[in-house]
Structure 1
Amino acid sequence: MGTLHYGASNDAIHIDDRALAHLKIVIATKLRRQESFTLSWRHPDGDPVGRSTIWIHPSIPLRFTFEEPEASELNSKWIEALMHSANSTGGIALIDEVLDTPDV
Structure 2
Amino acid sequence: MGTLHVGRISRIDLPDPVLAHVHAVVIAKLRVHEPVLVCWIAPDGRRDEVLVHPAMSIVVRYDVDDGLALDRAWLERLMRSANGVGGLRLTAEAIAEMAALGARAPESDAAAPAG
- When normalised by structure 2's length, the TM-score is 0.76
> Which of the numbers 48, 63, 67 marks the counterpart of 2:44?
48
Aligned to 2:2: 2
Residue 90 of structure 1 deviates from its aligned partner by: 1.0
Aligned to 1:62: 58
Contact conserved, 2:26 with 2:36, CA < 8 A, in 1?
no
CA RMSD of aligned residues (A): 1.8
Aligned to 1:89: 85
Aligned to 2:106: none
Separation in 1, partners of 2:8, 2:22: 20
Residue 15 of structure 1 deviates from its aligned partner by: 1.2
Identity fraction in percent? 34
Aligned to 1:79: 75
Separation in 2, partners of 1:12, 1:40: 12
- When normalised by structure 1's length, the TM-score is 0.83
Residue 52 of structure 1 deviates from its aligned partner by: 1.1
- Give the length in aligned residue pairs: 97
Residue 50 of structure 1 deviates from its aligned partner by: 2.6
User: Which consecutive segments of 4 or more residues in structure 1 shift more than 6 A?
Assistant: none
Residue-by-residue CA offset, 1:17-64 (whole Å, 9 max, x unaligned): 110100111101000000012101123xxx212321111010011111
Aligned to 2:34: 35
Aligned to 1:19: 18
Q: Which runs of 5+ in 1 are unaligned?
A: none
Separation in 2, partners of 1:50, 1:23: 20
